[in-house]
């Protein structure tokens, strides 16, 4: 909420109250649950019903399963508590969330169940303005949020791919190199990405051509086995926006793993996140758990420019799929000349761990078989859910015409007026 207020104040023409009014109306009056959202909501309910038995989780079921079940697809769902919370945030420029009534409710709930959150923790929080990081990729500049975010992983992978010749249509060797580059980038990301104040290496060192060349030289004809552990799943919302005056926004936020911690502050609809999940319990590791420290973070909005001019925002939701989706979408656009919708529609792969690579049901079978012959453990998914959910807006640098694409794997939409 502090970010909403800060963005509204710095860039917005409407008040925060006007900006949040549609969301408040949806929360108060309800909206029909969309297909993909309904699927994941139902899955979460089944998991929570089996796993969350303490009284501290009662508010989740009261808020998100008020009829004793998850809402059905197409059923109108409303949440007056969410409406009241959003209205309080709107009327106070988000102050109530950090230094007012909502803050007091959050802290009281935390203390009731032996949590560690205090009023001082919330009161001292301020959103942070950062300088984005980038690499030059075949004449384009690809921009990401700096660490503690994992956008650095996507940039390191693209930097490795920069040194390879890529055909106009992706072949087996292209997919093999993509997967190997991503595995190496993740290995480095898991070892080095942390709160920037604690990193052992600077971003410019990790994005240097010498480092990329060293990693690129390790890619051979056979699949490698890198060291990182198994990436967990995520739960994120991404949006891209642009207007006729040239303003463009790449925006992402997440409480992680669908509903975050599963803890909902009674009477508010506020689901507390579990973003600390990606800390490691090694005090000597750059990403080791410590006070006033941010963990390795999976959510990453992306942006593309060329010659200093904005091309547009892009993003792919989905935990540790995000940098993998970023690299594939950028290469689909830059290397394979696909339009925004086609870039999102193209079949994807996802490296899971070791030599295991998950591919979509419509991934070309002959490519999958050829990758298996190179030593990749190829597994075909039953649906496209694990492969991210993206949105893109590109501006033609010559005509200024905007073209958008929305993810076929989720409940996305392209809206223009």
| 52 and 157 co-located in one domain | no
Q: Which residue has the tokens 């792969």?
A: 349
CA-based nearest residue to 147, from 184, 190, 183: 190
- Enclosing domain of residue 348: 133-234+298-406
Residue 227's pLDDT is 57
Give the end of a domain, one of 109, 127, 145: 127
| 10 and 103 co-located in one domain | yes
Query: For residue 53, is it within any domain?
Result: yes
Query: For residue 240, is it within any domain?
Result: no
Query: For residue 105, is it within any domain?
Result: yes
Tell me how far the alpha carbon of residue 411 is from its chain's centroid. 16
| Distance in angstroms (rounded) separating the CA atoms of residues 315 and 313 | 7
| 28 and 98 co-located in one domain | yes
| 384 and 337 co-located in one domain | yes
Query: For residue 144, is it within any domain?
Result: yes
| 112 and 158 co-located in one domain | no
Query: For residue 33, is it within any domain?
Result: yes
| Distance in angstroms (rounded) separating the CA atoms of residues 135 and 75 | 45
| 121 and 207 co-located in one domain | no
| 200 and 336 co-located in one domain | yes
Catalytic residue among 92, 174, 236, 406: 236
Q: With beta carbons less than 8 A apart as the criterion, state whether 281 and 193 touch.
A: no
| 29 and 166 co-located in one domain | no
Residue 176's pLDDT is 97
The total domain count for the chain is 2
| 81 and 47 co-located in one domain | yes
User: Mean pLDDT for each consecutive 10-residue tract of the chain (417 residues)?
Assistant: 95 94 96 92 92 90 94 96 97 96 96 94 94 96 94 96 94 96 93 91 92 92 68 65 90 84 92 88 91 87 94 87 93 95 94 92 95 96 80 89 88 82
Give the end of a domain, one of 96, 127, 158: 127
How many Å from the N-terminal Cα to the C-terminal Cα in the chain?
Answer: 27
| 110 and 153 co-located in one domain | no
146: how many CB neighbours lie within 10 A of its CB?
17
Give the end of a domain, one of 127, 161, 194: 127
Query: For residue 141, is it within any domain?
Result: yes
Query: For residue 290, is it within any domain?
Result: no
Query: For residue 242, is it within any domain?
Result: no
Q: With beta carbons less than 8 A apart as the criterion, state whether 241 and 314 touch.
A: no
Say whether 19 is catalytic: no
**Which CATH number fits the domain that encloses residue 395?**
1.10.246.130
pTM: 0.89
């Amino acid at each position: 909420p502090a970010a909403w207020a800060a963005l509204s104040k710095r860039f917005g023409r409407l008040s925060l109250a006007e900006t949040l009014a549609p969301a408040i109306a949806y929360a108060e009056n309800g909206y029909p649950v969309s297909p993909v959202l309904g699927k994941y909501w139902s899955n979460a309910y089944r998991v929570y019903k089996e796993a969350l038995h303490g009284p501290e989780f009662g508010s989740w079921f009261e808020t998100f399963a008020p009829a004793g079940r998850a809402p059905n697809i197409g059923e109108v769902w409303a949440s007056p508590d969410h409406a009241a919370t959003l209205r309080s945030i709107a009327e106070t420029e988000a102050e109530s969330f950090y230094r007012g009534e909502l803050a007091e409710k959050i802290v009281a709930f935390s203390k009731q169940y032996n949590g560690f959150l205090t009023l001082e923790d919330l009161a001292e929080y301020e959103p942070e303005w950062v300088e984005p990081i980038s690499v030059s990729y075949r004449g384009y500049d690809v921009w990401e949020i700096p660490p503690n975010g994992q956008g650095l992983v996507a940039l390191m992978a693209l930097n490795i791919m920069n040194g390879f010749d890529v055909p106009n249509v992706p072949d087996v060797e292209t997919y093999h190199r993509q997967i190997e580059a991503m595995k190496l980038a993740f290995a480095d990301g898991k070892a080095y990405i942390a709160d920037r104040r604690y990193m052992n290496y600077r971003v410019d060192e990790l994005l240097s051509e010498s480092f990329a060349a060293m990693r690129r030289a390790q890619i051979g004809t056979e699949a490698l086995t890198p060291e990182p552990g198994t990436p967990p799943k995520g739960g994120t919302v991404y949006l891209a926006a642009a207007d006729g005056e040239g303003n463009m926004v790449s925006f992402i936020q997440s409480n992680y793993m669908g509903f975050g911690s599963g803890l909902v502050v009674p009477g508010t609809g506020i689901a507390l996140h579990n973003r600390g999940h990606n800390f490691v319990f090694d005090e000597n590791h750059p990403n080791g758990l410590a006070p006033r420290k941010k963990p390795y973070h999976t959510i990453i909005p992306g942006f593309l420019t060329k010659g200093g001019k904005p091309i547009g925002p892009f993003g792919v939701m989905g935990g540790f799929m995000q940098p993998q989706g970023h690299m594939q979408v950028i290469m689909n656009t830059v290397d394979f000349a696909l339009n925004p919708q086609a870039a999102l529609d193209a079949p994807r792969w996802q490296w899971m761990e070791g030599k295991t690579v998950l591919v979509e049901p419509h991934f070309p079978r002959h490519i999958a078989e050829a990758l298996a012959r190179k030593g990749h453990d190829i597994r075909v998914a039953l649906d496209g859910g694990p492969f991210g959910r993206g949105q893109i807006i590109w501006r033609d640098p010559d005509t200024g015409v905007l073209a958008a694409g929305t993810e076929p794997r989720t409940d996305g939409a392209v809206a223009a007026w």
